């Protein structure tokens, strides 16, 4: 069994793009967080509904996981930035899966400012060892640049782990 899992939520495909690159580079397994009822990703309503979920700290029900996160030593966890923090499906994941003693890499995708997304994720994952964190901006409009950035990030993390 592989000991690396990439866990992510993606509404419009940006975070999924990075997660799939990490999966390939790390030879990792992939776990997509899927809400039972997804918001519509078209138009301004996604910002209103998404922002409301963030501020109300809504924990949307998720479809059953296809993999068990506890079976993995190392997890990379990714999210789009919603209202300057992580997306609500991650609230659900963090409340259902109490990870402790794991090696964690964090990433987020945005079209602007990440706000406190990565810092808030770290706060929600106390008791773990953090390998690193990275933000990817305008992913689908700059695919090649972000692909190279993701590969470089993982290589840097792997080299630092080898040297310690």
Tens place of pLDDT per residue across the chain (164 aa): 469 999 999 988 999 999 999 999 999 999 999 999 866 666 555 555 555 565 567 788 899 999 999 999 999 999 999 778 898 999 999 999 999 999 999 999 998 877 899 999 999 999 999 999 999 999 999 999 999 999 999 999 987 765 55
- What's the pLDDT score for residue 82? 77
pTM attached to this predicted model = 0.90
**Residue 27, Ramachandran bin (φ over 0: left; ψ between -120 and 50: alpha; else beta):** left
Helix (H, G, I), strand (E, B) or coil at 154: helix
Contacts of 54 (CB under 8 A, 6+ apart): 82, 83, 85, 87, 88
Quote the pLDDT of residue 84: 81
Domains identified in the chain and CATH numbers: 4-162 (3.40.50.360)
Q: Where are the beta strands (DSSP E) in 69-128?
A: 74-82, 85-86, 103-110
pLDDT at 108: 97
| Total number of residues shown for the chain | 164
pLDDT of residue 1: 43
Q: What is the pLDDT of residue 115?
A: 85
């Amino acid at each position: 069994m592989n000991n690396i899992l990439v866990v992510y939520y993606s509404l419009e495909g940006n975070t999924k793009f990075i997660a799939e690159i990490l999966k390939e580079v790390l030879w990792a397994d992939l776990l997509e967080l899927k809400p039972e009822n997804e918001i519509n990703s078209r138009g301004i309503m996604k910002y209103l509904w998404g922002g409301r979920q963030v501020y109300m700290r809504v924990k949307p029900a998720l479809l059953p996981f296809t993999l068990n996160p506890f079976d993995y030593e190392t997890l990379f966890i990714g999210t789009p930035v919603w209202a300057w923090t992580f997306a609500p499906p991650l609230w659900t994941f963090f409340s259902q899966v109490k990870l402790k003693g794991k090696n964690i890499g964090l990433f987020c995708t945005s079209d602007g400012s990440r706000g406190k997304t990565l810092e808030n994720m770290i706060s929600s994952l106390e008791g773990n060892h953090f390998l690193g964190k990275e933000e990817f901006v305008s992913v689908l409009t700059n695919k090649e640049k972000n692909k190279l950035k993701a590969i470089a990030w993982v290589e840097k993390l792997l080299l630092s782990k080898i040297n310690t």
